[in-house]
Structure 1
Amino acid sequence: MIMSLPEEDLTCPVCYDIFTDPVLLSCSHSFCRSCLKRCWDTGLRECPVCRKRAPKSSAPSNLALKNVCEAVLQVRRQSSLLEEEKKMNCNLHGEKLKLFCLVDKQPICVVCQSSKLHKGHDCSPIEEAVLDCKDELSLTLKSLQDKLDSHKRIHIISAGMIKYIKSQAVETQRLIKSQFKQLHQVLDQEESASIAAVKKEEEEKIAGMKDKIKELSAEVLSIADTISVIEGQLLEDEMVFLKNFKDTQDRGRSIAPDSDNMSGLLIDMTKHLGNLKYRVWEKMLDHIDYTPVTLDPNTAHPCLILSDDLTSLHYSKQPSCCPDNPERFHMSAEVVGMTSLGSGSHHWVVETGSNQDWLLGVASLSVPRNAEISARPENGFWTLCFRDGEFKAMTSPPTALTVTRTPKQVKVQLDYNKGTVSFFDPIDDTLIYAFTDTFTESLVPYFYTQSSHPLRIMPEKILVTMLRQ
């Protein structure tokens, strides 16, 4: 009977909930006593529904409505308890859920434990299972929270990396244009020199032809004059002719023989055009450097400054703004070469100059970049160290080395297949130290310094070899 009443008949029009201590106004509208008080505290003593003025006396309790509402709430509470109790009981057997199956990860009753479905499964009491499951979920929650924090950090870094990538692209394009401009200047100079050589030869050939024409003109006049004299003698009487014959004959013979050698008068086009591109390319080699190792700027510690051509490095106390990418060394002033070395023999020479604090050698490609570890072979480093005026091979423990002089250059030589990393003084190829090991992964040239004086990878001579087929 009670549950058949519409719920809106038992709902306060102010708080829209089941009446609590309902009161009845003369207009027949009912309200919770506390709801009506709040409305009347505003200063308007009227019905909140129909706005009819209410008497100044306190509104009487609606006992009948109060009893009905309490009965409804009692029924709700009992229904809720039944639902809670139902949740605590097994759906299959109606028994209380006292155990937790560790295999199927679900609460069970004692009957379920002996059934085929869970027979032989490890179980624990519900109280213990709640604690264990909460601990497990807490670990999962922490892992997810860490992952969320990591993703948020990566998201922030990624946004910054977009800006850095754009600046990288602009700087790289600027350096490319600068290097091509240098090559263009060399080509322009060679082009100007080649054209100037043609023009010079043109002027020399034309001047020679003018001199030859001048000589020919003088000879023409001389021959014409001699012809005129001979023709005149032929018209003289016999005695005069004979008297002048010897002089006339000598004059005719004094005319130089014809010079019809016209070779070598034209411009030598072969000299200017033969293998022109190759000859220019050979000259360009004098303006081009080749270094066997190029530094990877994406691995450089923020305090390392690399040259534009990526062949030298030095330390700066003022770190640069660069992204926290995984390839970068974060803990100490290190950088590695661009190309990984996996087989064969390789060498490069590093000019140390006035630098008094450096490590040189090779490192495994997988060495940690976000932790500070000792540069030892067991950690993937094979290096030579110079610090405080002393040379050391970074073995375990480091090996002090004695050298006859402090080299200004160090040659690093790797023979991957033989498993050797050797260091030489390139002046006389004196061996400073050699590591012998077995390499199991690719290696990269390795550099470290905390000096403002640069370490520079020296360029190598370029040898041109002609292949004839």
Structure 2
Amino acid sequence: MAAAPSTKGSLREDLTCAICCDLFREPVMLSCMHHFCRPCISRYWRGTQGPVTCPQCRKEFSSKQFQTNYLVAAMVEKVRAATSDTYVRNLEKQLRDTLESIRLRKEDYINSIRRDKEKMNIIKKVRTDLQARVKGEFRALYQTLHDEETCMLEQLRREEEEELGKVQRHLEAMDVAVKELEDNIRVLQQASAGTENMVLTELPQLRPCVQMDVTPEFDINAFSKKYTGPLQYITWRKMFKSLSPGPCPLTYDVDTAHPSIHVSRDKTVAVECNVMNHHTNNNKRFLQCVNILASQSFQSGRHYWEVEVGSSPKWDLGMASEAVDRHARIKLSPESGYWTLRLRNGNEYSAGTQPWTRLQLRSSLQRVGVYLDFDERKVSFYNADDMSLLYSFVNGPREKVFPFFSPCISDSSHKPTPIKLLYYPPVALSG
């Protein structure tokens, strides 16, 4: 790049007539290969009788002969155009615009680097918070479950390392991109400085700039969900003999049951029936929808319980605010005071949002686990057979809530299936 000015100067010298000391006009070539302007050589030979000579090399010619050189003429026109004021101004404007564009791109990359570093700090902080939570869950079982805790913390460390690695790789790529832009800026600045003593004919050669992808997003919920659920209970399903206590023991509140729901004597089984039960009128009872609540309520802390739904083709379950309207038909959604999971047509599972959020499950649910973290306003649903997370609400209740259930109205082709409240898992998990 540094040789460009001398090359340009040499080219102009080569295209300069030795007689008029200006760029060729109608360049012609003598037999000795020297070039001159047609008018200049014609004037030089004017009045000469007999042999003529070349003004440069003094070679003698018997006659006044020369040949038009169209290639040199074309080169002269290009040089003349490149030295015009308009061309120079346009080229200088391109130089300034390119320099500003690269400077702006560098600024964008530097801002992206700053965001990357902020995200790395967030990842580290989230990991620290999760680690503290994991240790808190395991504290009561530390002696017997030390190996399980160590395994889970190692998994968290690997996931943190993976997330940090994504951002670190992006950060390193950004550093390389910024260095390339800085190299181009230096080249353009040098070219810009050189225009003071020379005429710029073209932009200097720049290094191709790598197009950077957007910074990878960090999903805090996806990163955290394995470590914010009922960790002790998940571990108990692997080693439940060492765990105490178990899930919340719930019972149905008969006074809330819709008249078509029959409740067992121990208040742990509810089933829809064709015959309407005799009931006393009270403000607690559901009258329009086949719903029922548990007797227990929650307004602080963390709680977990399990429900057996069996082979029922449809049901709703979750939790409901104490203030829900029990005498009207209301769509089940957090806005109406319900946080639920539902089943329709035997295989269509959905979370109770508006509109419904369809869930893709690998197998049918037999037992559903419900987890409430009241303080963090999270409501989560699990497949109680393998403790896989089905869905989480992050806008949970603020006021007192009750476990909520609905066996729904059964079709004539299906025998009503009860909804059972489980005190203990029926079998131990192996492995």
TM-score exceeds 0.5: no
Give TM-score scaled by structure 1 length: 0.36
Say which one has the larger Rg.
1
Point out which structure has higher relative CO (alpha carbons under 8 A, 6+ apart): 2
